A = this chain, B = another copy of it.
């Protein structure tokens, strides 16, 4: 590798940290400075629902930055401007107010995503209305949950579902509002989403589906959420989880090309339209692996991968991102749900001759007391037999099934390849017929019946 490289990383989330550590790993002599406007360097945003539920301490969500010679994380530091031509970052120390100038050879933009409120939603009174992004948000929600007996969660995203569940676990009466006729639209097919809906209902969460919030009014403790259909939901506080958008203000100021998704355009090396500047994580527009479609992928898994690629290239190494799967999983009190690759709906929309099979099977033999059910939906291309994606829901080993499916999609496996995979077996840990195998075998039969290639 080349000589010392000065690298500035903007943002200390999963993408920024991955970029910084991989830059160091590729080039030990690189000097990496991570600039973060928060007062704490590292935290676990994905653990916020668990903290709200009381499963983990809120203070435990703050972590230590990695220690390495030539790797520095500066907190409370806001990047105000980047002189791309002159390769200088202008930042401000939010504690002292002092100005900071940092020269760089390569810069990684990892400003992440920010909560997005739909245009059609008017917030007349923002008291008792919370986003879910920072530890301060989490603290405020936990405090509100201690004060008010009821809440409305707006948005049936994975985060919305997790938050609704967390609040219900704390004894708060929760209504969850989602515009689509099913939860997790775009993330799960409706049949798998139905499993999540059943679980939430069993935990006492009231689901309001196919209806959008249009107005939020009233002071904290007496909030009113009016919906498109004219319904009025009353609650002590409101949590907004209507999705995120790319946090691309700085990128725009820097003159970087922005895609139609609102994310920063990058190539396979995560390089932006300006050669020495890379982007990674929620701010970057990436390509879905199977369709090549430009998307935003705000998941931590994608952030890590893109950060890794950006960091390696920024430090003079060579790495490419072939595309993202949007592998994700959520856990509400032991009931897990998640997906990787394309849903059946997405696959059809993308023009695949998509076929699917769904099974609900045990993850280990019933004779073991911790044997649990898992629903697995596997989607494949009927023409090529290629695995396109998987979705899971249930108390069984969802992560194992999802990660295997992610490997299968990435590896270009056919359904027959998945059926031929030799998985490890111990009855106290797994079924001989792994849930993903059960789904694969069911799908192979369906492919066979449809008269399609048995590969």
**Interface, chain A (partner B; CB < 8 A):** 14, 25, 44, 46-47, 50, 55-57, 60-61, 63, 299-302, 304-305, 308, 317-319, 321-322, 324-331, 336, 338, 340, 365, 367-368, 397-400, 402-404, 406-408, 410-413, 416-417, 419-430, 432-434, 441, 445, 454
Assess A422 versus B325: contact at CB under 8 Å? Given A61-B367, A404-B407: yes
* Residue from the set A300, A408, A412, A429 with the largest chain B CB neighbour count within 10 Å: A429
Assess A329 versus B56: contact at CB under 8 Å? Given A25-B441, A399-B400: no
From A321, which residue of chain B is reached at the shortest CB distance?
Answer: B420
A422 contacts B25, C-beta separation under 8 Å: no
Tell me the bound Cα distance from A248 to B330 in angstroms: 49
Tell me the bound Cα distance from A404 to B367 in angstroms: 26
Q: Which residues of B contact A56 (CB under 8 A)?
A: 367-368
- Please give the distance in Å from A106's CB to the nearest CB on chain B: 19
B419 contacts A308, C-beta separation under 8 Å: yes
A407 contacts B399, C-beta separation under 8 Å: no
Assess A50 versus B325: contact at CB under 8 Å? Given A56-B367, A413-B411: no
29 CB-based A-B contacts, threshold 8 Å:
A25-B445, A44-B367, A47-B428, A50-B427, A60-B367, A301-B423, A301-B425, A308-B419, A317-B454, A322-B420, A326-B422, A327-B422, A327-B423, A331-B426, A331-B429, A336-B426, A397-B399, A399-B400, A400-B403, A402-B423, A402-B424, A403-B404, A403-B424, A406-B424, A408-B411, A410-B417, A410-B420, A410-B421, A411-B417
Q: Among the listed B47, B368, B397, which residue makes an inter-chain contact with A365, where contact means beta carbons less than 8 Å apart? A: B47
A331 contacts B428, C-beta separation under 8 Å: yes
Assess A328 versus B425: contact at CB under 8 Å? Given A321-B420, A403-B404, A404-B407: yes
Q: Which residues of B contact A308 (CB under 8 A)?
A: 419
- Please give the distance in Å from A420's CB to the nearest CB on chain B: 7
Assess A338 versus B424: contact at CB under 8 Å? Given A47-B367, A367-B47, A368-B56: yes
Tell me the bound Cα distance from A454 to B404 in angstroms: 24
Assess A425 versus B305: contact at CB under 8 Å? Given A61-B367, A404-B403, A410-B417: no
Tell me the bound Cα distance from A153 to B59 in angstroms: 49
Given A57-B367, A304-B432, A336-B426, 16 additional A-B pairs, CB 8 A? A25-B445, A60-B367, A299-B425, A305-B420, A305-B422, A319-B416, A324-B422, A328-B426, A329-B429, A399-B400, A403-B403, A403-B421, A403-B424, A403-B434, A404-B404, A404-B407
B406 contacts A408, C-beta separation under 8 Å: no
* Residue from the set A302, A422, A432 with the largest chain B CB neighbour count within 10 Å: A422
Tell me the bound Cα distance from A402 to B407 in angstroms: 12
3 closest A-B pairs (Cβ-Cβ)?
A411-B411, A329-B424, A407-B407
Q: Which residues of B contact A14 (CB under 8 A)?
A: 432
